[in-house]
Amino acid sequence: MIRKAVIPAAGFGTRMLPATKSQPKEMMPVVDKPVIQYVVEEAVASGVTDILMVISKGKRAIEDHFDRSYELEAQLEEKGKADLLASVKRISSMANIHFVWQKELNGLGDAISYAKYHVGNEPFAVLLGDTIMDSLGDPVLLQLIEQYEMTKASVVAMERVSMDKVHRYGIIDGEDVGNDLFKARSFVEKPNAADAPSNLAIGGRYIFTPEIFTYLEQIDRGVNNEIQLTDAMRMMLQDHDMYGYVYEGTRYDVGNTLDFIKTNIALGLRRADLGPALEDWLKVLMANNRI
């Protein structure tokens, strides 16, 4: 059973400036919910009951979002807005949510290492706080948990990317063991297309056995002078099996502007109350060549 999840959400969000100058990128709305609420909902729908968010200075809005808001609740109640009241109350009761503060923004690996004492000696999930995984079937985290239950080893989410994009990602060199599962031989950070061992990009969601903390403590600073999660994974692979799983779904890294816009359109089109009007408007926009 995976009960605990860690959501790193402390980063600067420089790629989304100026929007992120005074608000966390994880709180940017997609359609009508902040990004990080989609992430929490995916974790909860996958069976997680305990969530640790790694935050930093300037991320207060995340704490407030997952706290109860008695004034707002009272006002909605008074106005008879039952649906809104229920949706607002649900946010703070979805899971046990805890916070820890990353003192210096030393990278994703460093952020995860802050979860060591909270997680203890059990396997746990990591969900990036700025990444929405959209799936029409099982939530992507649940797909990984099912793989973990078979392998009892760390499993990372993978997606196929075109070869001209491999240089942007951590890429897995793995043995195909069937049913979209790959046993990792190595992880290569941002390779050139010519050197890439595959087009399988890692990221967004992970299940780790607790040994990952030992390796996070041992690694030196890597690319960008940051403690890189991929470096710890590569070191862990020398002693422990690790797997990559090609999930069913679409990954949206909402921390970059193009993906942010795409996510709003894709998820907006899916909504019964907004989709038809949005689709009509998009068709007119395209037909009039106003783009």
Binding site for ligand UTP (CB under 6 A): 8-15, 26, 54, 102, 105-108, 110-111, 128-130, 255
Three state DSSP letters for 243-270: EEEECCCEEEECCCHHHHHHHHHHHHHH
Q: How far is the CB of 195 from ligand UTP (least distance, A)?
A: 23
Measured distance CA(111)–CA(105) in Å, rounded: 8
- CA distance to 185, 238, 249, per residue, from 242 (Å): 8, 10, 21
Cβ closer to ligand UTP: 8 or 34? Answer: 8
Cβ closer to ligand UTP: 84 or 105? Answer: 105
Q: Report the Cα–Cα distance between both ends of the chain, in Å, rounded.
A: 49
Q: How far is the CB of 279 from ligand UTP (least distance, A)?
A: 30
Cβ closer to ligand UTP: 85 or 133? Answer: 133
Cβ closer to ligand UTP: 13 or 268? Answer: 13
Measured distance CA(57)–CA(128) in Å, rounded: 18
Q: How far is the CB of 118 from ligand UTP (least distance, A)?
A: 15
List 99's β-bridge partners, or say none.
53
Q: Whose CB is nearest to ligand UTP? A: 11
Q: How far is the CB of 56 from ligand UTP (least distance, A)?
A: 7
Cβ closer to ligand UTP: 76 or 108? Answer: 108
Q: How far is the CB of 12 from ligand UTP (least distance, A)?
A: 4
Question: In Å, how far from its chain's centre is CA 128?
Answer: 3
